[in-house]
Chains A and B, each alone.
Chain A
């Protein structure tokens, strides 16, 4: 199922380069634990030098009263350092509710930030997950932007994340 939440950034790249289609699949593992909370997940783009280039996804518990769900945003430590602490959550078009275990599919629009203004080059997609009373995991997936050909890049989490696939079409 294609999830079109507020994050869905539609077709990308208003840049002169041909529009690219970008789909991200994130598997949230089903865990057998006594106390399970859905993980907080952040997805962002950074340069080869790990310099932050733009946010794609922030899933957190935004339904709690008094915005108490912001308390655990800092557990996504890298994201918090690179971007989260500069933001006032929730952010339109970025933040969404936490997701259930299973495969989550998100489409991104290259006509919108941050892909719209992303200069051509080598990047890494970073997926960071942190689970209350659980662990934290960060997975990096190198990619080239804009994509030269249709391709699917894959990475595999071990604990808090499962299979990650980035489907790109020029």
Chain B
């Protein structure tokens, strides 16, 4: 019961992928109708969901409160026709300009857990609100800051680089190979940044979509090198889900127990990448 209530809170933020305690593998993703377009003034429609299997909307919709769409000039554009249903959210983006758009759902929140009379309780919010919510006599207070970023890139015409510039906040992808220029058999190189600096030793997982129709996950696992980089050779065309996370007691630099002043931090990143046939 408690677990599902907690989960509802998390899902409502679109943050299921960054729940530190979650042993279950819920995955948040954005799936666009196309990643490469040649139409002038084209549109993409995007499914946004949190699910077990990729890319099937079978669990929870991803909430769109923290949805950001950047056009090729880096200007925020407003998505249209937002809808959140039982299993997925959808929205449309009109591609007014040629170049690469970035569509992201970004989360940054504090979570605290504590024990009161032997019962574990959880709250989320800001440092201030959490301070007020935790009652006197609470024990084993643990505070975690969860940063998450779920992205997809879409290009009309020629790929451009403006939206690939990092925000320098949290864990981010800094593509060396353009994310809308991925072909089977080619090697793609991606760098990961934590607060804008190369993130070494980060575990990166790449899972091909279509899980429902195969027995094995067929994931590719790698660890970023000293420059924060990984190289991926695409085994087959299709949609892939790339994810990486750091901290939260899992990776290097994890604190033993977080406090309100110094929360344990977990930064997660995921992206949907389309690999085309040659």
Residues in A lying within 8 Å of B, measured CB to CB: 66-68, 70-74, 77-78, 80-81, 84-86
Contact = CB atoms under 8 A, between A and B. Distances in A.
Contacts of A74: 36-38
Given A77-B276, A77-B277, A85 B157 contact: yes
Interface in B226-278: 276-278
A85 B158 contact: yes
A72 B38 CA distance: 7
B38 A71 contact: yes
B139 to A, nearest CB: 59
Most chain B beta-carbon contacts within 10 A, residue among A67, A72, A81, A86: A81
Nearest to B39: A71
A80 B277 CA distance: 13
Nearest to A89: B38
A148 B39 CA distance: 42
B269 to A, nearest CB: 26
A68 B276 contact: no
Interface of B: 36-40, 42, 157-159, 181, 183, 276-278
13 contacts: A66-B40, A67-B40, A68-B39, A70-B39, A71-B38, A71-B42, A74-B36, A77-B278, A78-B278, A80-B38, A81-B183, A85-B38, A85-B157
A72 B37 CA distance: 8
Most chain B beta-carbon contacts within 10 A, residue among A66, A72, A77, A85: A85
Given A81-B183, A85-B158, A85-B159, A70 B278 contact: no
A80 B181 CA distance: 11
Per CB-CB distance, the 3 closest pairs between chain A and chain B, nearest first, are: A74-B38, A71-B39, A73-B38
Contact of A81 (B39, B42, B181): B181
Nearest to B183: A81
Contact of A84 (B38, B42, B183): B38
Nearest to A138: B278
Nearest to A76: B38
B36 A80 contact: yes
Contacts of B181: 81
A70 B277 contact: no
Contacts of B40: 66-67, 70
A124 B122 CA distance: 65
A73 B278 CA distance: 16
A73 B158 CA distance: 13
